[in-house]
Amino acid sequence: MLYDKPLFFPAGDLALVVELGDAINPEINRKVRSLTDALEEGSIPGVFDFLPTYRSVLVYYDPLMITSGEVQDGIERLLESTEVADTGTRHIVHIPTLYGGDMGPDIAFVAEHNGIDEQEVVRIHSGADYLVYMMGFSPGFAYLGGLDKRLATPRLQSPRTEIPAGAVGIAETQTGVYPMASPGGWQLIGRTPLKLFDPVRERPVLLSAGDYVRFVPIESQEAYDDILQQVESDEYSVTEEYEQ
């Protein structure tokens, strides 16, 4: 539920948590993004950083310049004057994904756990658009909402010490893509040849909060290798579309 008025909680002596709702849903997250857009404009002197989450914003301020009460007053004014933008237009980024096999070693477990076959896992997973609620964990990692309950699967009992960049996984009711090689405990169902994070790219992070992700199945290893080669040579154009 979106609160009529935000709740404020101190976080040490230089930060304030602004809680805007009590659930993970698009309406509350739009309010979060509207607030962060307003804070980005620097309209509250003394506020020097902020961190958005699913349903709240952690706001950092300089206590030598402004008090927590003044920060709270400023945020309340911003929320009163800020429109929650919802144009109904989705910016959808296509993520080509090769499911199963060596790329998705846990897809059989996901299928068995949910009483379906592997083809149904692919059909369901690629049949939805996932809202990017927030970014975090590692550079380029997008927290996606909208996983079908028919695919909900617990994390691995023992996490892997290294998961390759581009791995697509499921953990509980979430799905996501590992932007770089790292340890992790998600159930891996596929892999994308795209780079979700590339520090030498003009725009290092592929996704942003508010985007939607659409996983598009790659039909063969050869097709995967072809896209990977294009990505490595900077010849691949990521498919993006705007949809009402």
C-alpha span between 90 and 88 (Å, rounded): 6
Domain range summary for the chain, segments of one domain joined by +: 2-81, 90-243
For position 88, what pLDDT does the model report? 65
The pLDDT of residue 1 is 84
Q: Which CATH architecture has domain 2-81?
A: 2-Layer Sandwich (3.30)
Q: What is the pLDDT of residues 170-195, one digit of tens each?
A: 999 999 999 999 999 999 999 999 99
Q: What is the pLDDT of residue 24?
A: 87
E-assigned strand segments in 35-180: 47-52, 56-61, 90-99, 129-135, 142-145, 160-163, 167-171, 174-177
Q: Tell me, what amino acid is at 180?
A: M
Q: With pLDDT > 90 as the criterion, what percentage of the chain qualifies?
A: 83
Domain 90-243 in the same topology as domain 2-81: no
CATH number assigned to the domain with residue range 90-243, chosen from the 4 options 3.40.50.1370, 2.40.100.10, 3.90.1150.10, 3.20.20.60: 2.40.100.10
Mean per-residue pLDDT, 114-137 = 95
Express each pLDDT in 47-106 by its tens digit. Answer: 999 999 999 999 999 999 999 999 999 999 999 887 655 556 889 999 999 999 999 999
Residue 41's pLDDT band, with cuts at 50, 70 and 90, is confident
Total-model pTM: 0.86
Read off the tokens for 30: 């739009």
Q: Which residue has the tokens 């009711």?
A: 173
CB atoms within 10 A of CB 68: 17
Nearest to 175 by CA among 242, 26, 219, 184: 184
DSSP codes of every residue in 222-242: HHHHHHHHHHHTT-----EEE
138: amino acid identity, one letter: S
